[in-house]
Amino acid sequence: MTTSAAALRQRRRRDRNWHPYALIAPAAILVLVFLLYPVASVFYYALQNYNVTLPIYNGFAGLDNFRAIAEDPLFWDSLAFTGRWVLVEVGLQFVCGLVLALLINQSFAGRAVVRALVFSPWAVAGILTTTIWMLIYNPSTGAGYYLAEMGLGSYGTSPLSGTTSTFWAVVLAELWRGAPFFAILILADLQSVPNDLYEAADVDGAGRLRKFVSITWPHIRRAVVIAALLRGVWEFNNVDLLYTLTGGGPGHATTTLPLYVAQTAIHKHDFGYGSALTVVAFLILAAVTVLYLRMTRLGREDT
């Protein structure tokens, strides 16, 4: 009787030990299938010559794709443009998002409507954003036509026709879509700041700038750091707006590294070289992310 009870307890204890693994098994399988397998396949094809239009040359390539990348001027040009694109976009989105958040955090009539208008670009799909801005930049029906009618420009010109003007045209379109993201996160933190702190600062005679530096910024700093990281990663990987608005042109003037990957893999069907470019982009993004987190000390403020 005693032996049977001990065996039953042991079996129950063994069953309890397996329960946690059984519960997380579906999630672990999904991660393996939909995350690790695609990543592993990209690393695999990065070491292969794999072009569906030239199957006779397919096979193991070793590090040849990476050596070709080091000598590829388009890779270096697209990488330089990607860095410029991310810095300009994230910087402008932060400034505009901060100003918008501070404004709509104030009490005024119609604040709910203004907030909805401020946040609405974030809900617009990328292809619709492109359509809106293509109409604005259209030389026959867009803003350029009406400026020419007022004598402020010439007919038939578009910001998307010149190398320098194209860059700022796509920056403005992406800024319109991305700034509300900063505004949403910063506004959420602004509403958690106790009014007692501002009232005490008023008693001490602190001005607006002093209250922002000593009260507001410490409360929103974490949200700004996280938002900048997320927007930086998203802008690095931005393909939809640039691809549909400029196609990476004129020439290769607005070709980011992910867009160059898409052009290589989809248009040229060179999946081996495209995979190698993806691996390089992944490593660069991972290294910059780690460096950024160490510089901002995110999550270590209280230690």
For 219-243, what is each residue's pLDDT tens digit?
898 889 999 999 999 999 888 888 8
pLDDT tens-digit map of 131-150: 898 889 888 888 888 888 88
Q: What percentage of residues in the chain have a pLDDT greater than 90?
A: 34
**Token output for 132:** 């809106």
Cα-based distances in Å from 256 to 58, 68, 75, 82, 259: 27, 18, 9, 5, 5
**Domain residue ranges in the chain:** 44-120+163-296
Number of helices and strands in the chain (H, E): 14, 2
Query: Under CATH, what is the fold of the domain 44-120+163-296?
Result: MetI-like fold (1.10.3720)
Q: What is the mean pLDDT of residues 79-99?
A: 94
Give me the pLDDT at residue 299, please: 65
Give me the pLDDT at residue 286, please: 93
Match 């005679």 to its residue by tokens.
205
Residue 94 pLDDT > 80: yes
Give me the pLDDT at residue 76, please: 94
Instruction: Give the Cα separation of 226 and 185 in Å (integer).
Output: 9
In terms of Cα–Cα distance, which of 198, 185, 167 is closest to 122?
185
Mean pLDDT score of the chain, rounded to an integer?
86
Contact 227, 186 (CB under 8 A): yes
Q: Residue 124 — φ and ψ, nearest 5°?
A: -80, 135
pLDDT tens-digit map of 150-196: 877 777 778 888 778 888 999 999 999 889 999 999 999 888 888 88
- Global pTM? 0.82
> Is the N-terminal amide bond of 250 cis, ω within 30° of 0?
yes
> How far does Cα 194 stand from its chain's mean position?
31
